[in-house]
Amino acid sequence: MNIRSIISNDNYSREEILYCLNSQGDDELALLEAGGRIRKQFVSNKVYLRGLIEYSNICAKNCFYCGIRRENKTVGRYCLSDENVLDAARFAMAKNYGSIVIQSGELSSPDFVKRIEQLIREIKRMSDGNLGITLSLGEQTEETYQKWYDAGAHRYLLRIEASNPTLYKKLHPDDPLHSYETRVNVLQTIKKVGYQTGTGVMIGLPFQTMEDLADDLCFMRDIDIDMCGMGPYVEHKETPLFQYRDQLMSQNDRLSLTLKMIATLRIMMKNINIASTTALQAINKEGRAQGILAGANILMPNITPGKFRDSYLLYENKPSTNEEAEDSTSSLEAIILHAGAEIGYGVWGDSLHYKSKL
């Protein structure tokens, strides 16, 4: 077995996926090169920008890995005003982004649902329908997803974080608010409503095995995702998982493994959208450029007002928290060009995989 023979196939066994993830030396280089080449061949050499708006760090969940978990009393909580959000959307329009992402801690109150719906409608109105909207707002009811979809959102990211139910339970409290089964069912609901559906996992978690990661990729293939956002696990000192920090692989190994995950998923699902996530740059300043070279085609410049960024810390060492939106945008544009790719201005950059199913 070798990388070149694996790439020549159309279907990939668990053993072949494991081989890719365990690859070293020339085989690893061949895998990463193939990921970048297949990206260019099947989704073009353009990288699309999604302006990231971190709407609120208030969260009802208490996940053991997350810096904005409900029981972290050290974080200053905030919620952007409507004008904050609309100003960020105007910035995205002025910079000729095709899309924005509205991300938040998980909330589901009627006021939250209504405000998001109204913001989506206003963003669509003021952009004449030209600004695409991705949401990453956690588990909601089908009725809520439908409201937001009807208002104008068309992509939704809900990360599974770990597709192994046993591992999932080690990362979350054992209660109905943190149910693996609910998470999987909600992903199916998002697909049913009609969203381009995305998920993702953390790479290098405590208790995680290479077999878990291979199964994560199989999970994404089997539920037929349209987009993916996955990155290295970066610990946060105010979380329960921080106690296991001495058991983790090195950050460099987490970076390397994440790049192999990106490349392998690109080979398996050639025309989906894959983000080169912020967590890559938290480990290495070249991390997001390396993600593009390995097969990613989405970057998310942070356009949240600068004074709120230090409060949306899901993990330590988050990059660009001290930058304004203008600086963050310039940094990511430079990353794209450094990776030898083009910037896809002014278009949504929708998942070709999703379009192929219509």
What does 199-261 look like in DSSP terms, one character per residue?
Answer: E-BEES-TT--HHHHHHHHHHHHHHT-SEEEEEE----TTSGGGGGGGGSPPHHHHHHHHHHH
Is the entire prediction scored with pTM above 0.85? Answer: yes
Furthest CA-CA distance within the chain: 56
Within 10 angstroms of residue 309's Cβ, the number of other Cβ atoms is 19
- For the chain, the residue count is 358
Q: Are 234 and 282 in contact (CB under 8 A)?
A: yes
| Spatial separation of the C-alpha atoms in residues 75 and 18, rounded to whole Å | 39
- Contact between 229 and 198 under an 8 Å Cβ cutoff? The reply is yes
Please report, in tens digits, the pLDDT of each residue of the chain (358 residues total): 889 889 888 889 999 999 999 999 999 999 999 999 999 999 999 999 999 999 999 999 999 999 999 999 999 999 999 999 999 999 999 999 999 999 999 999 999 999 999 999 999 999 999 999 999 999 999 999 999 999 999 999 999 999 999 999 999 999 999 999 999 999 999 999 999 999 999 999 999 999 999 999 999 999 999 999 999 999 999 999 999 999 999 999 999 999 999 999 999 999 999 999 999 988 998 999 999 999 999 999 889 987 775 666 665 666 554 556 666 677 878 889 889 999 999 999 999 999 999 8
